[in-house]
Structure 1
Amino acid sequence: MPLEEHPQKSQQELIDAINQVMPFGKYQGRRLLELPEPYLVWFHKEGFPKNKLGRQLALIYEVKLNGLEGMLKPLLKAKQAK
């Protein structure tokens, strides 16, 4: 079933994506919503990974492309101390 039929699932997936921490690379340790747009554009051109992280990166790319980043910043969870 499309995610539109499950708005709570879509909302939770969005919250999970914006709070997901980048596990590798130059921006390792940053949450996906905090990644610079040019980095996401590069992924878009090269191809997102074929996994959950890739789907989350693609979602954040769309968020930034559509200027919705500011609206979603309040959903960022406080970083947990290690």
Structure 2
Amino acid sequence: MFVELPAVGSSVASGRVVGEIESTKSVGELYAPLDGEVVEANQAVVDDPSLVNSDPFGAGWMIAVRFTELPELLTADAYAALIAE
């Protein structure tokens, strides 16, 4: 596996590619969810990409972004209800 993340200080734009994640079977692009600036990139994931699968909500995080504009977002419960429809 291989993970490529944007550099700290990079600007990201909603829907634009900001990095790449590669496994033995495929290559996927990482997209920015909103406009902003990368304030932190997880070097541990670059060093050990298996963290993305083994601990995606903990040690497997990829980047922290300071958003320049935050639209109204769904809560976890609202999103679960939306996808259950």
TM over 0.5: no
Which is higher, the Rg of structure 1 or of structure 2? 2
- Greater strand percent: which structure? 2
- For normalisation by structure 1, the TM-score amounts to 0.25
- Greater helix percent: which structure? 1
- For normalisation by structure 2, the TM-score amounts to 0.25
